Amino acid sequence: MLLPEAIKLRIIELLDENQISAYKLSYKGGISPSNISDILRGKVAEPTISTILHICEGANITLKDFFDSKVFNEVEAVEKDRKIKK
């Protein structure tokens, strides 16, 4: 699985675990709802660590907790020539 897909799946897990919407997660994390929406729709090839940190703040978890998920067990990086354009 490619990294962007794993991040998307992890965000979906967090939304389900916390029983909140993407909008509420963005509000609690202090980022634009479009940031999370773009990740979930695949419009962002590689979300920044800063964006992931805001998502973690919204879900009240650490970065370690974010990446401590089975979705990251067999993840691959996106090759530069395969990146999705913003």
Alpha carbons 68 and 79: distance in angstroms, whole number: 23
Domain 3-80 of CATH type 1.10.260.40: yes
Per-residue CA distances from 72 to 1, 69, 75, 86 (Å): 8, 6, 5, 23
Domain ranges of the chain: 3-80
Amino acid at 78: V
pTM for this prediction:
0.84
Tens of each residue's pLDDT in the chain, 86 residues: 888 899 999 999 999 999 999 999 999 999 999 999 999 998 987 899 999 999 999 999 999 999 999 999 988 877 755 555 54
Beta bridge partners of 76: 2
